[in-house]
């Protein structure tokens, strides 16, 4: 066994096992999930890479004359790749209390960061393996003959996921470096990134520094593949475009294999291309059909059963988005005006969309992408970015035109045909689609451009013209500017404070919008000053779980939250220095009707003015809207987004044959404690209440603005009474009115003009037909805000019911 093989094995064990042995924290159960946030990992990786380079330098004389270009190339690639990976991981975490893209939840962000970390951990090993192989190889592409074998398990699992079980994630299936089915595309990207760097270093050996900047830029581009949700499509595009050409070239140039082995290699290459094409079409078709049907059902439920074709679905959705295009256009245009040259940086539109939308008093749109492709390019990239994109769109066609008379052989023509068809598919899907993300358009075209350059160079074309050199310089400059934009976005969002750390509301941090607990999902949303939403009442009992931030609830005035149902004031709740309150209510007659809820916050705040984030929305309070799970305990990730005058509100979709169980999801089947709206029991001096039974302790409970309780059985059989006390300090100037309901009927109205106990008779004839009695006051008072005591409760009246003999 060669010493190079032994060294590579030892270094692999060090990089993959030692960080785990030293206690590197992992968010998941996968052995390979070692996060990039552990500083020791980075040191070990660079140490192993340095050891490998030093070994090659000492043992191979032929490398000494090329040592400096080798060292410079590796250093340049490693530094830029590692920086881009770290910034990519940070910039994609949920930051300002709202989800940035689809199901980027807190736990998903943690798991996603680990996947990016595994890519970063794998790259130096691949570089080192390439260096060790070069020592004994005359053709650096021969290793690619074995690469397709690594994709076959990924193709099988992904095919099962896409065509048979849409919810299958294969958490226990090991494919590429232990990645699951969803992560196989990231593994694919790792291989192609290593191939790009591999070819770049090899060309630098032959041509000194000619292609250094091109392949360094492509390495940066490769890391940005991993910050999108479309890694699978990008992986397949690369598989259909970049690998077959290099693979066929390797098979043709390698003479150490027999003719049958070369034929087998060709068969593998064409098989992978066919599988990639089928998977690409299948994913686009199935995903588009699911999305279109989901939106169609949400917007036009009555039309869903009459759906005839995917074209009909698309027309309805397109009309819907066209009518709302102004909601996307106004923020994008103003973002461009704020930064016209280089834009807000990658993903700048997504991060800042709500910051701009609230300025125009329009409903919050989906936190996805601009409906107009070029508007988003202007917002994210500015004029320079749009110029580069135009070049990238045109450059592959120009390269094909320049070498049209030199292309020969089935493999070259096949590759050119694949690139042309891929260009057309990407351009058609992403420019005409309802949602567009410039990354999925820009970076694949960069790869197409790289492949076309490779083909042109292999056929003798040398880029000597001034326009080509100018284009290369412009691309390098754009890559630098995009890196600056990534830095700006990454450091503007506090990923640790707002995603990885579950900081509480009281301490000033924002809760993430999604929380996972015991396979159940909680979803928090921010309200603005006055949020309204509608819901069909499943019962007469409902709850709100509301959290306030200290920034807009500081004393002396605190924060007052007013809750209204169908326009009628239900309750007023006071928050002082933040906190969380669970509020239960009983309102008879709601079941089966459409209810309009309103949540009004007396004060709002902007995180951007506090110097915490760039979020400039007017935030009121946080509201827990959903708490659900499936029968099998699996979390619900897909839902239908509806919009109100507040910020995005999610309604979970009940999937076919997978019913959802809701718990504390706004409406309840019954009251957990039997009553609601009361504070804890208290004991007072019974001598203060006239006619109270002698020798019996006076036990009472304070109400809020509204409180309900079951009607005592003894009230249903004979007339009774209760004692009520109002303690408001300003009753002489502003009397308090108490209304008593039996079910939905008013049975008594009492006015308090002074602080005293009142005995209120209750006639059994009025309540015998009902089960609940409700006490509603027109206003409450807060002892802490009035300076009477440190009690911060919102008090209505005190209720005491004499015990029956």
Per-residue pLDDT at 338: 75
Give pLDDT tens digits for 255-279. Answer: 444 565 556 545 544 554 454 444 4
Low-confidence ranges of the chain (pLDDT < 50): 1-2, 4-251, 254-257, 265, 268-269, 272-273, 275-327, 357-372, 411, 418, 421-422, 424-451, 454, 476, 479-480, 482-521, 627-665
Per-residue pLDDT at 638: 32
Provide the CB-side half-sphere exposure for 142 (13 A, CA). Answer: 14
Give pLDDT tens digits for 323-374. Answer: 334 445 556 666 777 778 777 765 566 556 555 544 443 333 333 333 445 5
Tokens of 630: 């499936």
Per-residue pLDDT at 777: 95
Give pLDDT tens digits for 395-440. Answer: 555 655 666 566 555 545 555 554 554 454 444 444 443 333 444 3
Residue pointed to by tokens 């397709």: 148
Per CATH, is 514-668 categorized as 1.20.1050? no
Distance between CA atoms of residues 567 and 598, nearest Å? 8
What Cα–Cα distance (Å) separates residue 272 from each residue in 92, 182, 210, 278, 500? 31, 19, 32, 10, 39
- For the chain, residues classed under CATH 2.60.120 are 514-668, 676-800
Q: Which residues pair with 657 in a beta bridge?
A: none
Cβ partners under 8 Å of residue 692, min gap 6 = 686, 698, 723, 800, 802
Distance between CA atoms of residues 170 and 131, nearest Å? 34
Pairing of the two strands 649-652 and 639-642: antiparallel
CATH for 676-800, options being 2.60.40, 2.60.120, 1.10.287, 1.10.10: 2.60.120
Per-residue pLDDT at 737: 93
What's the predicted TM-score (pTM) here?
0.43
Per-residue pLDDT at 798: 92
Distance between CA atoms of residues 794 and 785, nearest Å? 10
Distance between CA atoms of residues 44 and 56, nearest Å? 18
Distance between CA atoms of residues 323 and 332, nearest Å? 16
């Amino acid at each position: 066994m060669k010493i190079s093989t032994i060294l590579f094995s030892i270094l692999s064990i060090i990089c993959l096992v030692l960080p785990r042995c030293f206690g590197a924290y992992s968010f998941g159960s996968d052995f390979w999930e070692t996060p990039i946030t552990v500083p020791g990992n980075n040191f070990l990786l660079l140490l192993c890479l340095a050891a490998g380079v030093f070994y090659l330098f000492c043992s191979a004389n032929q490398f000494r004359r090329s040592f400096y270009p080798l060292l410079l190339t590796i250093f340049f690639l490693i530094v830029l790749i590692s920086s881009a990976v770290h910034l990519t991981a940070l910039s994609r975490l949920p930051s300002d209390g709202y989800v940035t893209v689809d199901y980027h939840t807190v736990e998903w962000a943690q798991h996603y960061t680990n996947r990016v970390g595994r890519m970063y951990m794998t790259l130096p090993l691949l570089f080192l393996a390439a260096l060790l192989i070069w020592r004994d190889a005359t053709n650096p592409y021969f290793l690619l003959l074995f690469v397709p074998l690594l994709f076959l398990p990924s193709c099988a699992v992904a095919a099962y996921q896409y065509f048979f079980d849409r919810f299958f994630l294969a958490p226990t299936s090991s494919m590429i470096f232990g990645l699951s089915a969803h992560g196989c595309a990231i593994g694919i990207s790792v291989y192609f990134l290593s191939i790009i760097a591999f070819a770049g270093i090899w060309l630098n050996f032959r041509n000194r520094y000619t292609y250094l900047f091109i392949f360094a830029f492509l390495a940066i581009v490769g890391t940005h593949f991993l910050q999108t949700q479309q890694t699978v499509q990008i992986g397949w595009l690369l598989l259909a475009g970049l690998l077959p050409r290099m693979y066929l070239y390797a098979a043709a140039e390698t003479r150490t294999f027999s003719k049958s082995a070369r034929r087998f290699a060709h068969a593998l290459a064409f098989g992978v291309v066919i599988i990639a094409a089928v998977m690409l079409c299948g994913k686009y078709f199935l995903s588009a059909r699911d999305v279109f049907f989901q939106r169609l059902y949400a917007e036009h439920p009555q039309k869903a059963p009459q759906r005839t074709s995917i074209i009909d679905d698309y027309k309805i959705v397109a009309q819907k988005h066209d009518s709302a295009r102004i909601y996307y256009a106004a923020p994008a245009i103003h973002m461009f005006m704020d930064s016209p040259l280089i834009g807000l940086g990658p993903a700048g539109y997504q991060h800042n969309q709500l910051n701009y939308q609230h300025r125009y008093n329009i409903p919050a749109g989906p936190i996805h992408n601009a409906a107009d492709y070029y508007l988003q390019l202007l917002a994210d990239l500015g004029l320079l970015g749009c110029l580069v994109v135009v070049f990238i769109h045109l450059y592959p066609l120009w390269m094909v035109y320049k070498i049209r008379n030199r292309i020969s052989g089935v493999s070259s023509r096949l590759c050119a045909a694949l690139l042309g068809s891929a260009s057309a598919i990407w351009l058609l899907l992403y420019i005409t689609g309802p949602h567009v993300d410039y990354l999925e358009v820009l970076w694949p075209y960069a790869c197409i451009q790289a492949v076309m350059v490779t083909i042109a160079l292999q056929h003798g074309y040398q880029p000597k013209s001034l326009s080509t050199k100018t284009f290369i310089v412009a691309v390098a400059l754009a890559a630098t500017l995009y890196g600056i934009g990534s830095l700006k976005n990454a450091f503007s969002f506090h990923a640790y404070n707002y995603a990885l750390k579950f900081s509480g509301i009281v301490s000033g941090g924002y809760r993430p919008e999604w929380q996972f607990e015991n396979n159940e999902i909680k979803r928090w949303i921010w309200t603005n000053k006055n949020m309204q939403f509608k819901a069909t009442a499943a019962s007469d009992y409902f709850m709100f779980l509301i959290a306030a931030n200290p920034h807009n609830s500081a004393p002396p005035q605190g924060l007052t939250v007013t809750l209204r149902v169908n326009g009628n004031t239900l309750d007023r709740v006071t928050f002082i220095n933040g906190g969380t309150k669970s509020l239960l209510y009983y309102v008879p007659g709601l079941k089966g009707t459409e209810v309009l809820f309103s949540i009004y916050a007396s004060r709002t705040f902007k995180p951007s003015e506090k110097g915490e984030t760039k979020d400039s929305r007017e935030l009121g309070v946080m509201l827990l809207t959903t708490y659900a799970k499936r029968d099998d305990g699996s979390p619900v990730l897909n839902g239908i987004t509806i919009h109100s005058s507040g910020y995005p509100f999610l309604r979970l979709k009940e999937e076919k044959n997978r019913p959802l169980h809701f718990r504390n999801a706004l409406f309840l089947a019954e009251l957990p404690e039997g009553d609601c709206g009361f504070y804890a029991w208290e004991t007072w001096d019974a001598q203060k209440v006239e006619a109270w039974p002698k020798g019996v302790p006076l036990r009472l409970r304070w109400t809020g603005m509204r409180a309900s309780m079951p009607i005592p059985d003894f009230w249903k059989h004979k007339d009774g009474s209760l004692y009520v006390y109002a303690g408001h300090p300003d009753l002489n100037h502003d009397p308090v009115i108490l209304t008593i309901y039996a079910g939905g009927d008013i049975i008594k109205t009492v006015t308090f003009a002074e602080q005293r106990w009142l005995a209120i008779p209750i006639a059994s004839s009025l309540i015998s037909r009902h089960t609940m009695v409700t006490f509603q006051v027109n206003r409450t008072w807060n002892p802490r805000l009035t300076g009477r005591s440190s009690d911060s409760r919102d008090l209505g009246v005190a209720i005491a019911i004499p015990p029956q003999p």
